[in-house]
């Protein structure tokens, strides 16, 4: 569905599809800035939930800022910060991508964990940390943004922070190898201690990292 304007936002151009609908780049003449607009047709509750999560985590350099949320003709619109760059992968952990240097992979993972700190403080887990939801510009970790909060869940005994932290460990392995192997015996790290840290964390009975800050501290020696 083509649109030139919606509300006061102008020059809408579709740039992708997200959960649960299309994503547009647009211009906000009032604030004089480009924005991203996520449209959800007939899935108002999903969009309301995502907007609620984004408002709850507040400001973070590694998360998109929400600017506006509104509904029009059974369609909802989340207006947020426009993010330059591209995902670190095309889908989940099984779809091959560009292999990155271990130090860079750790830096990306640490900034992902910093974004998770803000989400967790807001009372949620992201619940969908995977390559397609990690945006990066020119391989610069400082530009990282974690996106897509459709599957976010409220923190509870059932939905623990460890869910996000395990996925962050998988992300680091994926970045270092360009894929996530079917068997962990296939791992080939240059730094054995980094491999040991990540493997130890991935063990389901391991409780070394109870918070994202604990995991960040464990990764700092490898930056």
More confident residue, 87 or 209: 87
Peptide bond into 215 cis (omega under 30): no
- Do residues 187 and 195 lie in contact, with contact meaning Cβ atoms separated by under 8 Å? yes
The whole-angstrom separation of Cα 207 and Cα 203 is 9
Residue 20 pLDDT > 70? no
Per DSSP, the three-state class of 192 is helix
- Do residues 28 and 35 lie in contact, with contact meaning Cβ atoms separated by under 8 Å? yes
Taking each helix axis as running N to C, give the angle between helix 161-177 and helix 212-219, from 0 to 180 degrees, rounded to the nearest 10.
30
- Mean of per-residue pLDDT scores for the chain: 92
How much is the pLDDT for 1? 46
How much is the pLDDT for 19? 59
The pair phi, psi for residue 8, each rounded to 5°, is -100, 5
Domains identified in the chain and CATH numbers: 5-81 (3.30.200.20), 86-222 (1.10.510.10)
Strands (DSSP E) contained in 60-150 are: 66-72, 75-81, 86-87, 124-125, 134-137, 140-146
Mean per-residue pLDDT, 79-103: 94
Mean per-residue pLDDT, 41-63: 94
* Tens digit of each residue's pLDDT (9 = 90 or more) over 155-178: 987 778 989 999 999 999 999 999
H-helix or E-strand spanning residue 34:
strand 33-41
> What DSSP designation does 222 have?
G
């Amino acid at each position: 569905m083509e649109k030139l304007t919606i509300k006061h936002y102008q020059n809408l151009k579709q740039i992708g599809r997200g959960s649960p609908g299309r994503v547009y780049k647009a211009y906000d003449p009032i604030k004089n800035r480009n924005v991203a607009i996520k449209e959800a047709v007939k899935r108002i509750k999903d969009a309301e939930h995502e907007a609620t999560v984004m408002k709850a985590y507040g400001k973070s350099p590694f998360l998109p800022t929400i600017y506006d949320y509104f509904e029009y003709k059974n369609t909802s619109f989340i207006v947020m910060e426009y993010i330059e760059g591209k995902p670190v992968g095309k889908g989940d952990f099984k779809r091959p991508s560009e292999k990155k240097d271990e130090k860079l992979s750790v830096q990306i993972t640490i900034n992902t964990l910093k974004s998770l700190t803000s989400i967790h403080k807001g009372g949620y887990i992201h619940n969908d940390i995977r390559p397609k939801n990690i945006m990066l510009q020119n391989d610069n970790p400082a530009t990282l943004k974690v996106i897509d909060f459709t599957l976010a869940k409220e923190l509870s005994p059932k939905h623990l922070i460890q869910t996000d932290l395990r996925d962050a460990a998988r992300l680091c392995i994926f970045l270092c190898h360009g894929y996530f192997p079917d068997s962990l015996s296939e791992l080939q790290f240059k730094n054995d201690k980094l491999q040991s840290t990540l493997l130890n964390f991935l063990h389901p009975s391991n409780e070394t990292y109870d918070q994202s800050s604990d995991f960040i501290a464990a990764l700092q020696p490898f930056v």
